[in-house]
Amino acid sequence: MIKCIIFDWGMLFTTSDYDNMVEVFGLSKKKIWELEDKYSDKKDCSGFWKDIKNLGVDKTEKEISDIFNIDKILELNEMSDLLDKLSNYTLVLLSNQVSERTKILRKKYPGVMAKFRHVFFSDEIGLMKPDVKSFQFIIDKSGFNPEECLFVDDTKRHIESAKSLGIYGILFKSADQLKEELSKLSITF
């Protein structure tokens, strides 16, 4: 029986800022993802900014940092509303983020963050998905057994990693698809 639902953040609760970053940096999404993966478990973004500049991005650190202002990101209200309906479950957030974006997300979305019992960003806990240790961390902190947990993410390799510990997984495509999958698992909302 599922008691704990673990959610990713990006593309579930907000749209992506990658298109804006591609436009401003002139780098591919793949390259930006690689750099974010390199620094998402660090408390300091300075290496991220240095690597961006070393790739030929002719911007000051302030200009680069301002890109994370997230003005172009939209909140996906349907998912936030779903959290309200899942209040009988322990809700946990586990998201890979660089420290600049974590600060902005916490400031911009306190209402959504408050719906989770636990909020874990990779830069704050020093662990990143798909590392199995990040899921073990959640299990340890939440006090649930893996088979009592469900993980929802938009990245297949993250789902596969969670499943390797016995955590159920749903690959997120849309709020409607997620609701269907939750119903199949007898999760009421």
DSSP labels, 40-67? TT-S--HHHHHHHHHTT----HHHHHHG
Q: What is the pLDDT of residues 79-121, one digit of tens each?
A: 999 999 999 999 999 999 988 889 889 988 999 999 999 999 9
Q: Residues near 161 by Cβ (< 8 Å), separated by ≥ 6? A: 129, 130, 131, 132, 135
Mean pLDDT of the chain: 91
Task: Write down the pLDDT at residue 71.
Answer: 62
pLDDT class of 44 with cuts at 50, 70, 90: confident
pTM to 2 decimal places: 0.91
Q: What is the pLDDT of residues 99-110, one digit of tens each?
A: 888 988 998 899
